Structure 1
Amino acid sequence: MPSQISVRIDGELCTAAEGQTIFEVANANGKFIPSLCRLEGVSSPGSCRLCLVEVGGVDRLLPACTTPAQRGMAVTTTSDRLNRHRRLTLELLFVERNHFCAVCVSNGHCELQALAQSLGVTYVRYPYNSPRLPVDVSHPRFVLDHNRCILCSRCVRVCDEIEGAHVWDISRRGIASRLVADLDRPWGASRACTSCGKCVQVCPTGALVEKGYAVEEMTRTNAAVTRLAIRKGAAP
């Protein structure tokens, strides 16, 4: 059994097990840290950078989902500095692709939208990239809309670590990065896809959706997928 350590989060002394991340300790003690890429039960890549926290004695911000809690660590999860950073990150996510909430099937059930509302992001200060991105409707049940993708890689990890199919990957680099199926085939032509729908259920936006849903109808069941992941012990 891992030994117990004490960590101070927002001034409150919390007990943690060695090996737990700051995010896990905070979550277990009712401390909210925003994130769009983390999903319980699968590995954490620290890619969205929304879960950055302040740690006493460290000049830079650290990702809570990948930083192990250490004995005597003092963590701040909410501050003016962190809120400014999180709002900036959300603004950049909005300008990178084409997020039109009013006509998105996930409107009202979108984690990106909900975080923007909770952090007071009511406008964007930067010019929109407005890229011309395709929508893949080749799959008989599901749709991939690159315009709404934030490259969180939840679908990649769930498909690999839980379903074991490894249909998805992130291709290219930087602003040219794209979610691809089977080495850049149309999703409907994938030989590995089992049509399980787990990737659709864990998508935080309207990038992966099920056909036949109108605006505000595409609800998610993340909990069912994460419960399966925990039972399988998928997270390393």
Structure 2
Amino acid sequence: MAVKTLTINNRLISARESDTLLDAAREVGVHIPTLCHLEGVSDIGACRLCLVEIAGSNKLQPACVTKVAEGMEIQTNTEKLQKYRKMIVELLFAEGNHICSVCVANGSCELQDLAVEMGMDHVSLAYQFPQRDVDLSHERFGIDHNRCVLCTRCIRVCDEIEGAHTWDMAGRGHNSRVITDLNQPWGTADSCTSCGKCLMACPTGAIFSQCSTVGEMAKERSKLEFITTARKERKWIF
């Protein structure tokens, strides 16, 4: 496999030609914030938090879906990028109804962690206060659309790892939302296997276990990467 040489934050590195900029950065210990990225499933570049600056390009590019190229010069943490990332996190808080103090994922939430990382101490944008429902029709799990950030991790993990494709996206723009089985209540979705992979994939408290209370929703996302790796390396032979 060919190797590409590039520069990240003025540091000369080498990467496989199949790597993305996010892969290459993480390989050498360079942190790039993400929200829609999840190890073990495909990337779609939805959250735009992993935007980086590439010399010679007047556009910011998402690191998770941009392949490395010979001679690239990348900056991952400029003042411009910090400003954009903070604005994106503020937009996510303003667009939904995120009240951390009463959320099951309080203390174990990737959106909350990003807000801290970006130094966000308030939301400078007008809150939208959308009217969104909570679906508790499933016997084990629930989904609170108020906390959903439309990262589509639940959709991808259900499709690519579980193979059920229970979850999908409906609507456009402000009306976008994740749905189950052609917009049926989750509890009546015949395709759902109740595996819980969507719960483990969710970065916030949007998908939760009904036995969890405030601050109890710790998720083991490494299990999803383990399953994918085990399948790829044929560690499970039936």
Give the corresponding residue for 2:118: 119
Matched residue type, 2:128: N
Q: Is the 8 A contact 2:44 2:65 kept in 1?
A: yes
Report the alpha carbon displacement of residue 227 of structure 1 after superposing the two structures with TM. Answer: 1.4
TM-score, normalising length: structure 1: 0.97
Shift of 1:183: 0.6
Structure 2 contact 53–60 (Cα < 8 Å) conserved = yes
CA distance, structure 2, for counterparts of residue 82 and residue 64 of structure 1: 12
In the alignment, what sits opposite 2:141? 142
**Matching residue of 2:20:** 21
Which residue of structure 1 lines up, in the alignment, with residue 30 of structure 2?
31
In the TM superposition, 1:1-236 aligns within 5 A as 2-233=1-232
* 1:62 Cα offset (Å): 0.2
Query: How far apart are residue 215 of structure 1 and its match?
Result: 1.1
2:101 is paired with a residue whose SS is helix
State whether residues 162 and 232 of structure 1, in contact with CA within 8 Å, keep that contact through their aligned partners in structure 2: no
Larger displacement relative to structure 2 (2-11 or 160-169): 2-11
**Structure 1: how far apart are the matches of 2:167 and 2:31?**
29
- 4+ runs deviating over 4 angstroms: none
In 1, distance between residues paired with 2:231 and 2:189?
A: 25
- Unaligned runs of at least 5 residues, structure 2: 234-238
Unaligned runs of 5+ in 1: none
Counterpart contact for 2:167–2:181, Cα < 8 Å: yes
- Partner SS, residue 114 of structure 1: helix
Q: Cα distance, 1:152 vs. partner?
A: 0.1
CA distance in 2, matches of 1:232, 1:57: 40
Q: Which amino acid aligns with 1:134?
A: D
Give the C-alpha shift of residue 5 in structure 1.
Answer: 1.1
User: What is the root-mean-square deviation in Å for CA atoms of aligned residues?
Assistant: 1.0
- TM-aligned CA deviation for residue 117 of structure 1: 0.3
Q: What letter corresponds to residue 176 of structure 1 in structure 2?
A: N
- 1:13 shift after superposition: 1.0
Conserved 8 A contact 2:39-2:224: no
